[in-house]
Amino acid sequence: MMLDKFPAIILINPQLGENIGMAARAMLNCGLTDLRIVNPRDGWPSEEAARASAGALDKGVKATVYTSTRDAIADCHLTFATTARPRDMIKQVYTGRAAMAEAHAKINEGQRVGVLFGAERTGLENEDIALANAIITMPLNPSFSSLNLAQAVLMVAYDFMMQGDETAEAQLQTGKTDIAEAATVTDFTTRLIEELAAKGFFKSPDMRPTMERNLTNLLTRHDWTDQDIQTLHGVVSAFVKDH
């Protein structure tokens, strides 16, 4: 499969077609073409989007619609979540510039990178952020940091475009195995949660969503290899088999 040279822009539950179109225009201004849309409120395709894109949706940006964040990031090796303010999660927080330097390095190694953007008013849900490997928070005016959706996309796309092809200072040495795609990691997370539920790990139904999110966060913020995930499956299998 041909690998993209640019990160995918992934809009989660965007409300207005106009904003999707302006985001597409901003992407193509900076050379980005892979637009993924999860559950656009007003449907797709959208006349408002086409108009606001000023031709970008015809001239280069390819938009694909997904029904879940998980599906939209399935083929990504590194996923960033954009948030305006810190969340109570253990994840690496980057500026746009630092994140896109990292994106360049990973793309040069043959990996796929995605950047998640939340809905206009509410931003990303914690469940979506938990699926990402790291966070981007732009270093904006702290007393007025709420960005228009298309403006947020532009800043990230611009930061990507402005980075030269600088080599990463530290590269992960993976030997013969590859960095796991998101689907590989989320499949393992799903299995782990099911096996733990069967073992009575989630004692209180009230706490279960938080506990699941903690587990998901713990497993997504690292750059696992395929071999790592195989090993972890082996660990779980050893624990759950009858003896």
**Size of the residue set binding a second copy (CB under 8 A):** 78
Min dist CB 199 to a second copy, Å, is: 5
Query: Which of 57, 72, 89, 113 lies at the binding interface for a second copy (CB under 8 A)?
Result: 89
Residue 71 CB, shortest distance to a second copy, in Å, is 26
Q: Which of 3, 5, 43, 60 binds a second copy (CB under 8 A)?
A: 60
The reply on whether position 113 binds a second copy by CB under 8 A is: no
x-marked contacts with a second copy along 204-223 as a string, rule CB under 8 A: ----------xx--x--xx-
Which residue in the set 1, 164, 165, 206 belongs to the binding site for a second copy (CB under 8 A)? 165
Residues 193, 130 contacting (CB under 8 angstroms)? no
Contact 137, 83 (CB under 8 A): yes
Q: Which CB sits closer to a second copy, 49 or 154?
A: 154
Q: In what order do the strands lie in the sheet with 62-66?
A: 62-66, 34-38, 8-12, 113-117, 78-82, 134-136
Closest CA to 236 of 193, 202, 185, 184: 193
**Does residue 215 contact residue 232 with C-beta atoms inside 8 Å?**
no
Helix axis angle for 17-29 and 149-162, nearest 10°, is: 10
Which region, judged by CB under 8 A, interacts with a second copy, from 43-51, 68-76, 99-107, 111-119? 99-107
201 touches a second copy (CB under 8 A): yes
Stretch that binds a second copy, among 9-17, 85-93, 108-116, 181-189 (CB under 8 A): 85-93
**For residue 224, which of 118, 27, 119, 77 has the smallest C-alpha distance?**
77
Scanning 36-44, 64-72, 167-175, 183-191 for contacts with a second copy by CB under 8 A, the matching segment is 167-175
Per CB under 8 A, the list member of 158, 183, 213, 233 interacting with a second copy is 158
Rg value, the chain, Cα: 19
Rule CB under 8 A: is residue 240 a binding residue for a second copy? yes
Tell me, what DSSP letter sits at residue 221? Answer: S
Q: How far is CA 235 from CA 39, 172, 228, 239, in A?
A: 36, 23, 10, 6
Torsion angle in degrees (nearest 10) through CA of 39, 24, 44, 49: 120
Stretch that binds a second copy, among 48-56, 66-74, 106-114, 124-132 (CB under 8 A): 48-56
Work out whether 5 is an interface residue with a second copy (CB under 8 A): no
Contact between 15 and a second copy by CB under 8 A: the answer reads no
Q: Is 26 in the site for a second copy (CB under 8 A)?
A: yes
